Chains A and B, each alone.
Chain A
Amino acid sequence: MPAYPPLSLHIPEPPGRPGVPTDFSYLKVSPAGAVRRPPIDARPDDTMDIAESLVRVLDDDGEARGPWAPAADPALLRRGLRTMLLTRAFDARMLIAQRQKKLSFYMQSLGEEAIAIGQALALAPDDMCFPTYRQQGILIARGYPLVDMMCQLFSNPRDPVKGRQLPVMYTSRAHGFFTIAGNLGTQYIQAVGWAMASAIKGDTRIVSAWIGDGSTAAADFHNALTFACVYHAPVILNVVNNQWAISSFQTLAGGEAATFAARGVGNGIASLRVDGNDFLAVLAASAWAQERAHRGCGATLIEWITYRAGAHSTSDDPSKYRPADDWARFPLGDPVARLAQHLTRIGAWSDAEHASTQAEVEAEVMAAQKEAESYGTLASGHVHDASMMFDDVYRDMPAHLRRQRAQAQGA
């Protein structure tokens, strides 16, 4: 045996820290229009080049380019832009309300709105979503009432989950929105199960599964890829790579050695790496993946490149671990500004309309907030009756819980 040098442990470093501006060259950005669009029935291993490049439609001037440029109806794009503005206004108001202690906690989706909303618009309304806590855009795009969202956030007596869950842990079967889990990654493999069920039953509905870059480290992510591959499950496996997982840069989930999309290919799943701040690319890639799922070509993994513009949650302070101006310098920009630029360019939007829509969505959010607050907030102490915490543990309440409920009521 030769005399080898001593080993050393590799610890990945982020490309920027407070006081050290981020070097974004790591991102590997392809020019708009440069990446090919394979046929719907492409073999998984025939997508490796796409998993390692970046599907983009909008160029720096807001022009749609290349094979992925969707033949999108401007009305749909306008709807997408309005929904993004609405979601952003909603997030901004709820952050303020959290500071006023009307809710205990909040998580915004600032900067990554295009992904959830674009995909929601590309899916059929009854396709099922298994979201994380950062896909409020799906609910809003599907017309779930803002008032009901806020009642959940305020934990008031109209909270559909009866005050049991942290704010943002929405659920709505009627809107194809699976109950959000606090335990990262668990929904991903469950989504594959739902997709398998749809196939077992000979149904036509497909599934959209969601996970963050950091959470791809969880075993459930890898289980999901394996099961989706084995059963050709009709599921879109979305990975939202917003670069950060609380304070951990995406390299800590393995993003240094390979793209997250490449993990899909390695598991026998067709995979795309897509500019998540490019609304047109989101629509086009989502449409491609859903078409594959419907046609029995199996799962598609889509890695969306975006940036978590805000703090992880209201409990987080990102100034402790990343440069403050990161988002302003992020090479893929702001999805709202980019779609507005494109629509303006094709004559379907204007600064004046932008301003009036902005005012409109803010008024809509304010009105919803006023109504939701009239039902109570955590700060006002108007919450579901405590005895209700014993409901829904089982379908029928067993004797021991009836006993405990009576004790809790002071009997």
Chain B
Amino acid sequence: MATMTMIQAIRSALDVALGRDENVVVFGEDVGYFGGVFRCTEGLQAKYGKTRVFDTPIAEGGIVGVAIGMAAYGLRPVAEIQFADYVYPGYDQIVSGAARIRYRSAGDFISPLTLRMPCGGGIYGGQTHSQSPEALFTHVCGLRTVMPSNPYDAKGLLIAAIECDDPVIFLEPKRLYNGPFDGHHDRPLVAWTGHPRADVPEGHYTVPLESAAVFRPGRDLTVLTYGTMVWVAACAAEETGIDAEIIDLRSLWPMDLDTVVTSVKRTGRCVVVHEATRTSGFGAELAALVQEHCFWHLEAPIERVTGWDTPYPHAQEWQYFPGPDRVGAAYRRTMEA
């Protein structure tokens, strides 16, 4: 065991995967010599060589396209998109290519690739370094979409993603890279050091895909969330004194419906929290699933706390970000309903 930040845990996952399987290749913009703008691949080129860890041209469509070709050949490409906000030139390759190759060839070809991309706000990145585009991927059949909330899960999920035969979109909440973040941006930074979820085995392990975690058990209401918002949701529970059961979905789609349904049936109340914009966000799917599976157990309307339906602003970042006050207010409304 070692204490790792989320960056170190991701690097460790890549290191383990590169070491165990010579078909694993890692690439992306600034990923090779430099080690990535967030340093997630630092040292890996020196260790595994320039044809296994390398830099690419600035062409996201090209990055995804070559990943598909390599994956079809039999490699296990792990490509980095420098920011999720820059994935769009690769979207056609993801939707029309990676997601459908198995289906359209009836399994003759597959796309076992992993696309890592930092997402989310909280770093004054403005509208092109802050987006949470998960719903653009959960909407596409054939993709798996994953978002960890801590170093332990990040490593285990990333190894599981790389070993998975399906294409996986691996979203990394950048605000969690160096420490947990409860939404109180005006308080001192908290590091991962000493945090139980930063205790990460150095070797190989996986956190299975399609499995959610009960991040905080509770009796009053169920919170369905993922990524940075797991920490915000937990903070809101402490601050309101409402005993929220917080479910960290980890795998957004396909997902662990049993854990969700069991919890909501028990608490009878449900709040969905995500940082992405509201309309047609993944929260809409979650609310629909809860309604379909738990309607007769619900004692209150399902609440959604999300980013507003605007691009992510720069100076007004903290009015945009759904912080603990907004989440806590939703808990109260849900309890009072």
Contact = CB atoms under 8 A, between A and B. Distances in A.
20 contacts: A11-B54, A105-B124, A159-B315, A163-B314, A164-B315, A165-B127, A166-B128, A183-B85, A183-B128, A184-B86, A185-B58, A217-B58, A246-B29, A246-B34, A252-B57, A254-B57, A389-B316, A389-B319, A401-B308, A408-B308
| Interface range on chain B (Cβ under 8 Å from partner) | 35 or more
A384 B315 contact: yes
A393 interface: yes
A383 B316 contact: yes
A8 B30 contact: no
Interface in B43-90: 50-51, 54-59, 61-62, 85-86, 88-89
Contacts of A384: 315-316
Nearest to A219: B61
Contacts of A181: 128
A164 B56 CA distance: 30
A28 interface: no
Given A182-B129, A217-B58, A401-B309, A247 B320 contact: no
| Residue from the set A246, A248, A378, A393 with the largest chain B CB neighbour count within 10 Å | A248
Chain A contact residues: over half helix, strand or loop, or mixed? loop
B37 interface: yes
Interface in A131-185: 155, 159, 163-166, 169, 181-185
B309 A400 contact: yes
Interface residues of A, number: 46
A181 B125 CA distance: 13
B124 A104 contact: yes
B201 interface: no
B58 A215 contact: yes
B329 to A, nearest CB: 9
Nearest to A220: B89
Contacts of A346: none
Interface in B171-185: none
Interface of B: 29-30, 32-34, 37, 50-51, 54-59, 61-62, 85-86, 88-89, 124-129, 278-279, 308-311, 313-316, 319-320
List of 6 A-B pairs having minimum Cβ-Cβ separation, nearest first: A182-B128, A163-B315, A217-B57, A247-B34, A386-B319, A166-B126
A164 B319 contact: no
Nearest to B315: A163
Contacts of B313: 163-164, 389
A284 to B, nearest CB: 30
A219 B22 CA distance: 31
A192 to B, nearest CB: 17
A54 B141 CA distance: 51
A11 B51 contact: yes
A104 B314 contact: yes
Contact of A163 (B33, B86, B316): B316
B86 A155 contact: no
A165 B29 CA distance: 23
A8 B54 CA distance: 14
